[in-house]
């Protein structure tokens, strides 16, 4: 079975899981497992203390549309990952990459090139589906949950998603981590008083923490973050462009509603009417494109919003548009000449009495 995924998404699967690879003392886990079924291509890695599984809804090649789905699972050895990442970086992000297992190779085929890496079809890997299912189905302990977590391991979730949800069901049970098309877990650690070999845990319970900080915290009454933290002195100026994807989407929808409302109440069709019509249509199209991009790849959508905000703040968007049009093979000078001609003809028309 072959599956097809664009180069950007393949690189993202690798990036979201590579930090969880075990060292070479455990050969079976020293790499990333690519696991395909009829719907998704998964990338899975674990170092026995954390596990990360990212997925992408793949497309099967046209020639296989009527063939029954045959799942495959192959491990990409850690030693081959630098070459794979370098190859992916040479492929345009939107180009399709077909992943095909052969007898002893895993082949990555793009329109302009191919990479084959050694992959043992008989290599063992853990039953990651069963493991994650067991963690999801854990029932919470009746006692208060207060697990100790390694901050070194927590840093690995930065590549998982911009926002993740977590669930702790017991002090000695894995912590569940869930993101968009991402599932993982982290084992608790044994809390120690310091970085040495002592087994003393001075903060084993919430009461221990409360006691340790009592003298400092007792000086103030308990408040909520909303009450304790300062409120920004003023809202974001209207001319400032937000880099937040949620605010960007909201701003686009506001523009659509503002423009369409003007079209409803306008008394006559004039230049302002035409400007609102154009603004409303453009804002709605931009919102739909942003929503689709965010659904396909939240990280890429956030990156595009932030980069676009910087370009808008720069103020030279006409130069950016000119360069983009030229790079796309268009003739922006011809567009400008046509616009100038239309304006000249319009100005030459007699004004109605």
DSSP per-residue letters across 115-154: EEEE--TT-----HHHHHHHHHTPPPPSSPP-----HHHH
pTM for the structure as a whole: 0.73
Report the pLDDT averaged over residues 111-120: 94
56 in Cβ contact with 24 (< 8 Å): no
Comparing 74-78, 151-155, 182-186, which segment has the lowest mean pLDDT?
151-155
Question: How does residue 236 score in pLDDT terms, banded at 50, 70 and 90?
Answer: low
pLDDT tens digits, one per residue of 153-173 = 998 999 998 889 999 999 999
For domain 1-193+202-231, the CATH superfamily is: DNA Polymerase III, subunit A, domain 2 (3.10.150.10)
Predicted pLDDT at 197: 47
For 213-227, letters b (16+ CB in 10 Å) and e give: eeeeeeeeeeeeeee
Predicted pLDDT at 50: 96
Predicted pLDDT at 321: 86
Question: How does residue 113 score in pLDDT terms, banded at 50, 70 and 90?
Answer: very high
Q: How far is CA 85 from CA 13, 143, 237, in A?
A: 11, 45, 41
Question: How does residue 1 score in pLDDT terms, banded at 50, 70 and 90?
Answer: confident
In this prediction, what percent of the chain has a pLDDT beyond 70?
90
The domain segmentation of the chain, as residue ranges, is: 1-193+202-231, 245-344
Report the pLDDT averaged over residues 307-321: 83
pLDDT tens digits, one per residue of 190-216 = 765 555 544 556 778 888 899 999 999
Chain position carrying tokens 């069963």: 130
pLDDT tens digits, one per residue of 33-75 = 999 998 999 999 999 999 999 999 886 554 444 444 558 999 9
252 in Cβ contact with 286 (< 8 Å): yes
Comparing 237-241, 263-267, 281-285, which segment has the lowest mean pLDDT?
237-241
For 141-166, letters b (16+ CB in 10 Å) and e give: eeeebbbeebeebeebbebbbeebee
Backbone φ and ψ of 110, nearest 5°: -115, 170
Question: How does residue 81 score in pLDDT terms, banded at 50, 70 and 90?
Answer: very high
Predicted pLDDT at 140: 92
Predicted pLDDT at 318: 84
Predicted pLDDT at 65: 46
Closest CA to 38 of 1, 76, 75, 73: 1
**Better-scored residue on pLDDT, 138 or 206:** 138
Token pair recorded at residue 181:
């098309």
105 in Cβ contact with 113 (< 8 Å): no
pLDDT at 269 over 80: no
């Amino acid at each position: 079975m072959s599956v097809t995924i664009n180069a950007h998404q393949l690189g993202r699967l690798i990036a979201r899981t590579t930090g969880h690879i075990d060292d070479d003392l455990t050969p079976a886990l020293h790499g990333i497992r690519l696991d395909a079924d009829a719907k998704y291509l998964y990338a899975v890695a674990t170092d026995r203390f954390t596990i990360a599984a990212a997925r992408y809804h793949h497309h099967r090649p046209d020639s296989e549309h009527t063939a029954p789905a045959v799942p495959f699972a192959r491990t990409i050895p850690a030693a081959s990952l630098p070459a794979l990442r370098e190859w992916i970086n040479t492929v345009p992000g939107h180009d399709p990459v077909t992943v095909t297992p052969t007898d002893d190779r895993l082949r990555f085929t793009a329109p302009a090139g191919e990479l084959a890496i050694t992959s043992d079809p008989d290599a063992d890997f853990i039953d990651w589906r069963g493991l994650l299912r067991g963690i999801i189905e854990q029932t919470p302990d009746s006692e208060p949950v207060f697990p100790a977590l390694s901050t070194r391991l927590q840093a690995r979730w930065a590549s998982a998603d911009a926002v993740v949800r977590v669930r702790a069901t017991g002090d000695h049970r894995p912590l569940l981590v869930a993101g968009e098309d991402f599932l993982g877990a982290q084992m608790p650690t044994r809390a120690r008083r310091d970085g040495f070999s002592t087994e003393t845990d001075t903060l084993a319970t919430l009461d221990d923490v409360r006691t340790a900080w009592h003298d400092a915290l007792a000086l103030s009454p308990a408040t909520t973050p909303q009450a304790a933290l300062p409120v920004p002195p003023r809202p974001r100026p209207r001319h400032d462009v937000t880099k937040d994807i949620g605010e960007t989407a909201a701003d686009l929808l506001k523009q659509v509603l503002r423009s369409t409302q003007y079209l409803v109440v306008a008394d006559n069709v004039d230049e302002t009417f035409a400007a609102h019509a154009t603004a409303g249509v453009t804002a709605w199209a931009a919102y739909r494109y942003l929503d689709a991009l965010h659904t396909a790849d939240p990280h890429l959508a956030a990156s595009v919003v932030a980069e676009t905000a910087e370009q808008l703040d720069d103020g030279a968007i006409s130069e950016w548009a000119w360069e983009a049009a030229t790079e796309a093979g268009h003739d922006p000078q011809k567009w400008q000449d046509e616009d100038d001609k239309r304006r000249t003809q319009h100005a030459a028309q007699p004004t109605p009495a």
